Structure 1
């Protein structure tokens, strides 16, 4: 009798924990998807901004630094 009750309690606790885990995982997956989409957008914007800034700064700095380097040589 005690063994049966123990088995039922273990089974119910396992199923309950699995149910909680599945709910937590689905919620976590939704949150990860939302966060990932936001992060991908932010990363894309920052990458584009960095490329644009580096491109404009790179050409400007090359134009500014190339004459002094030639003079130093």
Structure 2
């Protein structure tokens, strides 16, 4: 079984899936959907149950959540 936390690194592009896109169910229409799909497939193959992708997991419309998430990334 894979370790509890293993970093996957990906770069942000011009058409990232946002939290709001994900909630609205339109994320698959974005260019970056392939990165999410492929990362999810790899995580699953490695035995992970969850995958965190900050661009679509952080509600950027909430300044408190955004600030907390940014500060947590450095811990």
TM-score (norm. length: structure 1): 0.25
Greater C-alpha Rg: 1
Q: What's the TM-score once normalised by structure 2's chain length? A: 0.24
- Higher helix share goes to which structure? 1
